[in-house]
Amino acid sequence: MHRWLRLPAVILAGCMGAVVVSHAASRPVGLPFATRSEAMAPRAMAATSQPLATEAALEILRRGGSAVDAAIAANAVLGLTEPTGSGIGGDLFAIVWDPASGKLHGLNASGRAPRSLSLDYFRERGIERMPSYGPLPVTVPGAVDGWFELHGRFGRLPMKDVLEPAVRYARDGFPVTEVIAFAWERNVRALQEFPGFRETFMPDGRAPAKGEMFANPRLARTYETLAREGRDAFYRGDIARRIAAYMAENGGFLSYEDLAAHRSEWVEPVSTTYRGYRVWELPPNGQGIAALQMLNILEGYDIAAMGPGSADYLHVLTEAKKLVFEDRGRYYADPDFADVPVDRLISKEYAAARRALIDPERAADTYSPGDMPPAGADTVYLTVAGPDGMMVSLIQSNYRGMGSGMTPGDLGFVLQDRGEGFSLKAGHRNALEPGKRPFHTIIPAFVTRDGKPWMSFGVMGGDMQPQGHVQIIVNLVDFGMNLQEAGDAPRLQHGLNQRGEHRADEELRDGGVVLLETGFPPEVVEALRRRGHVVSEDQSGYRFGGYQAIRRDPVTGAYTGATESRKDGLAAGY
């Protein structure tokens, strides 16, 4: 994988000595040079992590489809072209701005644990932590039901037309792009021995390299079945029976009855304000409210005066994250199985009490979760906006890259390992229970201003996601960056180890590790270390997420788009 280089604000061009000055050169010192200009278009915009998916979305919009139709089309193409982060064996969450109703709609399309699997199975075998791969962490895949729920409410074109671009590429093939080829090879090392994986994802016995053509006719047939027979083909028809038989043959617990019982849930997005902007997330079982909690804490500081990339800002950002993730580990869970005090957690009063625990000069080794009143690795993110003003913020994932490795029959996709998000500690709010949804990392986001849509955005990447959401908002609101600069700016991720990981049931004991992306000055790194932070610098860009965003001009209705410089993305419109 190539390293992402920060370009200088002034580039000397060629032997003629011409000087090309960046559009960012007139901005305040400290703001980054964007890797590209923002994309702008008068009527429609799509931003995804893979160019063919963006083109598919625009194709559907031009044919009269809604933004939801276009988002489904893009997601289907990503399931083919970026199987390292997405696919119909995974889950989905979405926030939709509906111009007809003038409100946001949230969809939780995450699946549940098999009803025949309980903590007793693990206790009897002495297993203390859910495996990352194989049959045990497989939960019901919710993405397909999510597509049809979204389509049933907001779709215009028939599903056959919506899935046609993905079917075409699956049959004819496509050239694998650079970042995806890198991730594919990494996944192959871990997953190649699981039944069915090699046959689907390893032509010639290896991962496809950059520029090589890859086709998945098995997935094409599955998509055609969905287009012809609808969501019941996946949850009650032949596909469901084949998944269940495969799992039974290979030591799994996911059954036909689990698939048949699955339903997505329409939920009300929740929000907080940040300096006049209202930021929206979905409630648990996901971690979206962690971003809202962090923003509430940071709002009490003069972040703009601290400056982008400063040690002062990075210190309070890290400490806010530590505080919030302790609450995440204690309180976030499936609300069907636990009382989650969302209103209290995202309140300004609670944020003020938690903020008071931060020492501005010293990193904390540990925080305790806040007191509540008694109860009464990989992902894809995409966003699409249509001519009518509909905007879709959609995130979808297999969890750890290509999921569990379990690849049923000749269906062309891998099943997710989202069950790894369960705790195996009896009594934990997020402990495994039959039919329970696991703690979820994937979160779409949306921002409104004065009750009008302002921005649809997301940052994929496990625990990085709420941290990334916060850094994007701060970059835009406090530091005055444009949409592309806000994503290109170097990022921080705090975790419990040098991979940036922080399981939902783990507590902070030793202050954790601050991962810094290339681009922060050495004096900032040293200043953080003097405050007691353990700092590790990461030059790969691989651990800092994948960002896409679309912003709507409230006067003209035109769209501005931005995409992730760390991935193979494209923002484009018409």
Q: Provide the annotated active-site residues.
A: 379
Two tokens at 488?
């290109």
Rounded Cα distance between 175 and 86, Å, is: 17
Q: What are phi and psi of 365, to 5 degrees?
A: -75, -30
Give the total residue count for the chain.
Answer: 574
Two tokens at 241?
């029976």
Two tokens at 442?
């994937």
Rounded Cα distance between 295 and 284, Å, is: 17
Kindly provide the residue ranges of all beta strands, DSSP E only, lying in 427-467, ordered along the sequence: 445-449, 452-460
Contact 438, 418 (CB under 8 A): yes
Contact 71, 172 (CB under 8 A): no
At residue 414, the 3 state secondary structure works out as coil
Burial class (CB in 10 A: 0-12, 13-18, 19+), 460: buried
Q: What are phi and psi of 230, to 5 degrees?
A: 85, -175
Element (H, E) at 118: none
CA angle 453, 458, 464 (to 5 degrees): 145
Contact 436, 113 (CB under 8 A): yes
Among 430, 448, 449, 447, residue whose Cα is nearest residue 439: 430
